[in-house]
Structure 1
Amino acid sequence: MRNVTHGSEVAYLLINVDDIILTTSSKDLLQRIIPSLHKEFDMTDPWGLLISFGIAVTLDSTSMFFSQNKYALELLDSAHIASCNLTRTSVDTKPNLGLDGVHVSDPTLYRSLKGDLQYLIFTHPHISYAVQHACLHMHDPREPRFAVVKRFLCYVVVTRDFGLQLYASSTVTCSIF
């Protein structure tokens, strides 16, 4: 995500391969930026974008809500987690992630799930530290670490409706819901 400021005006531009999401602090700024983007990029209906990068965007008159609920459900499905012991915290308060434990039977699944969790951080920043810490050991996947990943996934079940709410404001404010 790129934040561009010009005086008191702010524009946020999120670019990924062939998708662009643009939001601005005023409609006037938006109207000035769109023609410039049309000159550089082949664009379709800029107002019809409500889902991109697996992120759903809900707009109303005062805010934008970014959610990855569908992505989270797909993540849980790919992990074959239909049910688990729900948890209200993303980490164990007494972690034991030493070098002990048996190597995981499917290191590709382990690494894939960790990568998926890293992408989920976009709308779930509250788990970023725990996910990044667990990802330090992707080179040596062991069962105790996989248990931590499964705990994250059980936490995702509880928090999959969370997202980022951005309000129209003269200051940049970010809230987790």
Structure 2
Amino acid sequence: MHNYRLFAIKDLGDLSYFLGLEVLYTDIGLFLTQAKYATGILLRAKLYDSKPVSTPLAPHESFTVHGTPFSDPTLYRSLVGALQYLTITRPDLSYAVNQLSQFLQNPTIDHFRAVKRLLRYIKRTLSFGLTYSHPHKPCVIGYSDADWARCLDTCRSTYGYSIFLGGNLVS
């Protein structure tokens, strides 16, 4: 004997906004963006009116644990954490956010300066996101890259990868 309970549900229509993700329906599929969420980060950091830049990091930027400690590590951690969530629809931010995440314990002024630069890049690219189209054939393709001994403090390597399903980035 089963004891089932009935729940009333309501169809709210097509998904448009969920947990900071904006979903736009196009002729070819879906476009996911976090423009509203990114704007909130810029406002919280007081950088909404800042001058935009064209790259997430300065050319040839390398980070090290050495330097003058940043006066508000909690702010640094909060902003980098928010940026980690933004990488869901912004894979162009992943490398920079990963680099900055390695210094959450003891950020320096140089690390915070890089966070501000990354936010200025986001200001320029607020409308960026991911397009998911209907795949013509469901093939899986992966790419990877490595930078041997990139970390200046430990001489460890860094790497990145992308996995596509039917031409759509999934990881």
TM over 0.5: yes
Q: Which amino acid aligns with 2:36?
A: K
- Is the Cα–Cα contact under 8 Å of residues 57 and 65 in structure 1 kept in the other structure? yes
Q: Quote the Cα distance in structure 2 between the aligned partners of 1:99 and 1:168.
A: 45
Decide whether aligned partners of structure 1 residues 43 and 109 sit closer, same or farther in structure 2, where only a CA change above 3 A counts: farther
Aligned pair partner of 1:164 in 127, 130, 134: 130
Change (3 A) 1:44 1:112: farther
TM-score, normalised with respect to structure 2: 0.72
* CA contact 1:66–1:163 (8 Å) conserved in 2: yes
Look up the match of 2:51: 85
2:17 to 51, 56, 72: 51
RMSD: 2.1
Q: CA deviation at 1:112?
A: 0.5
* Percent of residue pairs identical: 33
- Provide closer, same or farther for how the CA distance between residues 42 and 110 of structure 1 changes in structure 2, counting only shifts above 3 A: farther
Shift of 1:49: 2.1
The equivalences for 1:145-164 within 5 A come to 145-164=111-130
Superposition pairs of residues 98-113 of structure 1, within 5 angstroms: 98-113=64-79
The answer (yes or no) to whether the contact 1:69–1:160 under 8 Å persists in 2 is: yes
Q: Which amino acid aligns with 1:49?
A: L
Q: Of the candidates 89, 99, 115, which is equivalent to residue 133 of structure 1?
A: 99
1:54-102 residue CA offsets vs partner (Å, 9 max, x unmatched):
0110113431000101001001001111322321111111324223322
Distance 2:131 2:9 in 1: 26
* Residue identity matched to 2:56: S
User: Aligned equivalents of 1:42 and 1:94: distance in 2?
Assistant: 57
CA contact (8 A) 1:96 1:144 kept: no
Per the alignment, residue 174 of structure 1 pairs with 168
Q: Confirm or deny that 1:66 pairs with 2:37.
A: no
- In the comparison of the two structures, how many residue pairs are matched? 136
Partner of 2:41: 75
Runs of 5+ consecutive residues of structure 1 not aligned to the other structure: 1-38
The yes-or-no answer on 1:124 pairing with 2:90 is yes
1 or 2, which has the higher helix percentage?
A: 1
Give matches, 1:13-52, under 5 Å: 44-45=10-11, 47-52=13-18
- Whole-Å Cα distance in 1 between the matches of residues 95 and 61 of structure 2? 14
